[in-house]
Homo-oligomer: A and B are copies of this chain.
C-alpha cells in the first residue's frame, strides 16, 4: 500500500537532499508488481538499486525511471528450488540465455543455405526504411534477401545495397501486388510502406496467402490496427514490432505500464502472436502469456530508422531457421547489443541507425566469447 504519514515525510526529505541514494532490493514505497503511478504515496528516488536475486518487474518500465535509475542484481544464494519455484511469467533476458540460442556456424558446417527472406518495404518518400531494413537483414545472416519495392524505389535500393535482389511492384509509388511467395521461407512487411488503399488490400491478400509466420512492422501494424478483424486470419507465430504509439493503435490505450503489459500479453494469447513492444526495456510477449524483457540497448538508439534495423535483424534470423520466439529474443538482444557497441564507438548522439547495422557483426562476435 502507498507510503504516507511519517515514513512518507522521511522519503520526501531524502528525495530533497542533494546526495546519492542507494536502495536495497527495491526503492521504499515502489510497488514491485503493480503500478506506482498515482499511488498517492511517497517513493524513494534511488540513484542505484541493489536488488536481491531477481530484477523486479517494476524496473522494466520507464514510468518508474524517477525511482529506479541504475540497478544491479545481488545473489543471496537462495536455495535453487526456491529460485525455480518463482513464477516465470516474467523473464529478464541475459547474455547467457542468448548465447544458448545462437546457431553458431562452424568452419566445417554444411555451407548449405541460410534461407531466402522476402522483405516488403518502402514507398515514395519512405525508401530509406527499405534500405536500412534490407542491409540489417543481410548482416543478421540471411542467405538471400529479396526486397519488394515500388518502381521508383528500385535505383535507391540497388545502389545502396547491391547484395539485395529485388522484386518490383507494378505501382510507381507503393506496395500494391503480391509477388510469388514460393521461394521464401521468411516474410517481413512494413518499413516505409505507407497506408495507401492498394497497400491495405495487398497486405490483406498477403495474410490470406501464406502459412508462414509473418513479421509486421510500422505501417503494416497501423493498417492492422484499423482493420482488427483481419487479425483473426493471421498465421500462427506472427511477430509484431510496434513502438508505443503503434502499439496503442493495435492493442489499445492503458493508464500505466502494468496495465499496458497486461494488454500486451492478452493480445499475444488471443492471436497466437509475439509482440515486441519497443521501449526502455523492450518487452516480448508470447502466445502462452509469458513476457520477456530485453536487457540491451541505450538512449543512443532513439534515432530515425532504428526500428527498421530491428525488423531486418529479426527477418534475417527467421530466414536462417530460428523459430519466431528465438528470432524475437535473439533479434532484440542482438539489435540492442549492436547499438551498445555503436555508441561505445561514436557516442549516443552521433550513432545512426546504419551504425547499428554496421555493428551487428561485432555483436555476434561479442556473444561468442
Chain A contact residues, CB within 8 Å of chain B:
62, 65, 69-70, 105-114, 124-129, 131-132, 138-145, 154-156, 158-168, 279-280, 297-305, 345-354, 360-362, 364-365, 368
Contact = CB atoms under 8 A, between A and B. Distances in A.
A346 B361 CA distance: 5
A302 B105 CA distance: 11
A299 B111 contact: yes
Nearest to A133: B162
B361 A165 contact: no
Given A128-B163, A165-B128, A349-B141, A105 B299 contact: yes
A303 B141 CA distance: 8
Contacts of A347: 361-362, 364-365, 368
A125 B168 contact: yes
A107 B168 contact: no
A278 to B, nearest CB: 9
A131 B157 CA distance: 12
A160 B62 CA distance: 34
A111 B280 contact: yes
Given A108-B65, A111-B301, A299-B111, A163 B364 contact: no
B156 A158 contact: yes
B349 A143 contact: no
B143 A112 contact: no
20 contacts: A111-B279, A111-B280, A111-B299, A124-B168, A126-B166, A127-B162, A128-B161, A128-B164, A128-B166, A132-B162, A132-B163, A138-B304, A140-B349, A140-B350, A141-B303, A142-B304, A155-B156, A163-B353, A347-B365, A347-B368
Given A347-B361, A349-B139, A361-B350, A109 B168 contact: no
B360 A350 contact: yes
A140 B348 CA distance: 10
